[in-house]
């Protein structure tokens, strides 16, 4: 049995510190933008993960990898995305994303 508390949601960590930022995240970003009918959530996840990889935003990438898997993107597709982006956003961003994803995938087993 683990004695460590479960990891805290990043939004919960910021809720008392930056409440308006979290309110906008939940109501505008996830409540409106992610719910628009023009793209599937799966496609939005692929786009978001690609942008986060290219911009080297590892803190946000972790939760969006989980969201992508929940939205139907496969591990193989994400690995292919990292490989493809390595040639466009730089080798280090592709490798860093793959290493982070490996941890995420293993934690979900």
- 52 and 61 in contact (C-beta within 8 Å)? yes
Instruction: Compute the average pLDDT of residues 84-89.
Output: 97
9 versus 28: the higher-pLDDT residue is 28
Instruction: Compute the average pLDDT of residues 81-106.
Output: 97
**Quick one: pLDDT band at residue 8, thresholds 50, 70, 90?**
low
Furthest C-alpha separation in the chain: 45
Q: How far is CA 34 from CA 17, 38, 43, 48, 88, in A?
A: 24, 10, 10, 11, 26
Q: Is the pLDDT of residue 19 over 80?
A: yes
* pTM for this predicted structure: 0.87
Instruction: Compute the average pLDDT of residues 7-30.
Output: 90
- Taken in order of first residue, the domains within the chain and their CATH numbers are 10-39 (no CATH), 40-109 (1.20.1290.10)
- 96 and 58 in contact (C-beta within 8 Å)? yes
Q: Is the pLDDT of residue 101 over 90?
A: yes
């Amino acid at each position: 049995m683990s004695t460590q508390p479960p990891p805290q949601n990043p939004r919960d960590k910021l809720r008392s510190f930056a409440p308006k930022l979290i309110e906008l995240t939940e109501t505008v970003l996830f409540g409106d933008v992610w719910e628009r009918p023009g793209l599937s959530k799966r496609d939005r996840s692929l786009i978001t993960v690609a942008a986060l990889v290219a911009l080297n935003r590892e803190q946000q990438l972790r939760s969006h990898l989980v969201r992508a898997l929940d939205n139907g993107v496969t591990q193989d597709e994400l690995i292919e995305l990292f490989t493809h982006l390595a040639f466009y956003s730089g080798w280090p961003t592709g490798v860093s994303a793959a290493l982070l994803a490996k941890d995420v995938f293993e934690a979900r087993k």
